[in-house]
C-alpha cells in the first residue's frame, strides 16, 4: 500500500449485500457489553464497544484485563473460515469492535502484545460505514498515511506492521455505525518470546 509496505487491502473481499447483512446481524446478535470498565481499580470508558472470542484455552492479557473471553458463534466461525481460506493463515481469536457512530474511535496503538509473538499477522475485516484508518511509524507524531476501510474490505497487517508502526481510527463528524473484526493468532505461553 502507498506509504506502508506492511499493509495490504483486499477490497471487496465480501460483496456489498453480504457485508450489509453481516453488519446488521452482528450489531444485533453480539450482546454488546457496556463500555465502562474497571481495570486495576480505575474506571474508564472505552470509546467503542468490544467483544473478544477465542478458542478454548487461549489466554490474552488484553482480554484478561478488560474482556470476558466468549466462544465463537456460528457467524464468527464462518467468517474466520473465509478469512483463513483466503489468506492461508490460521487464527484462534477475534476482537470485534463496534463503532456506534463517528464519536467512537480507537487511538494510536500497535497490536504488539507478547502473546501474539514476534511475527503477528492480523487480518481486519470491516463492515458498515467506511472509516479512515491512519498509520505512522513508531516514534513519529503525524500520520504517514491513511486508507479508507470500506464495508467488505479485508486489511492485512503484515508482521512488520505491529513492530514498526502504529495505527488508529480517528473520530469523524456525522459517522454511521461500523463493525470491525481483527483476527489474531494468540500463541500458547511456552512459545512466547
Ligand X SMILES: O=C(O)CCC(=O)C(=O)O
Return the sign of the alpha-carbon dihedral for residues 144, 147, 153, 51: positive
CA atoms within 13 A of residue 47's CA, in its CB half-sphere: 13
Partner whose binding site includes residue 97, from Fe ion, ligand X, none (CB under 5 to 8 Å by kind): ligand X
Among 84, 105, 111, 150, binds Fe ion (CB under 5 A): 111
Q: Note whether 161 binds ligand X by CB under 6 A.
A: no
CB of 9 to ligand X, least distance (A): 11
- The answer to whether 60 contacts ligand X (rule: CB under 6 A) is no
User: Quick one: cell of 167?
Assistant: 495505527
Among ligand X, Fe ion, none, partner that 162 touches (CB below 5 to 8 angstroms by kind): none
Element (H, E) at 17: helix 16-29
x-marked contacts with ligand X along 8-47 as a string, rule CB under 6 A? ----------------------------------------
What is the contact surface with Fe ion in residues (CB under 5 A)?
111
Amino acid at each position: 500500500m502507498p506509504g506502508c509496505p506492511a499493509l495490504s487491502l483486499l477490497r471487496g473481499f465480501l460483496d456489498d449485500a453480504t457485508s450489509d447483512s453481516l453488519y446488521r446481524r452482528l450489531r444485533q446478535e453480539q450482546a454488546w457489553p457496556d463500555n465502562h470498565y474497571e481495570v486495576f481499580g480505575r474506571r474508564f470508558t472505552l470509546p467503542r464497544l468490544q467483544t473478544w472470542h477465542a478458542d478454548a484455552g487461549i489466554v490474552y492479557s488484553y482480554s484478561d484485563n478488560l474482556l470476558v473471553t466468549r466462544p465463537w458463534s456460528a457467524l464468527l466461525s464462518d467468517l474466520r473460515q473465509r478469512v483463513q481460506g483466503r489468506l492461508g493463515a490460521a487464527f484462534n481469536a477475534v476482537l470485534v469492535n463496534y463503532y456506534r457512530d463517528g464519536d467512537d474511535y480507537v487511538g494510536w496503538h500497535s497490536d504488539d502484545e507478547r502473546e501474539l509473538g514476534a511475527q503477528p499477522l492480523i487480518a481486519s475485516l470491516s463492515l458498515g460505514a467506511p472509516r479512515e484508518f491512519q498509520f505512522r511509524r513508531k516514534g513519529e507524531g503525524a500520520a504517514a498515511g491513511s486508507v479508507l476501510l470500506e464495508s467488505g474490505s479485508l486489511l492485512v497487517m503484515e508482521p512488520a506492521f505491529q513492530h514498526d508502526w502504529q495505527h488508529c481510527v480517528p473520530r469523524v463528524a456525522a459517522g454511521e455505525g461500523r463493525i470491525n473484526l481483527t483476527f489474531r493468532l494468540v500463541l500458547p505461553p511456552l512459545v512466547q518470546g
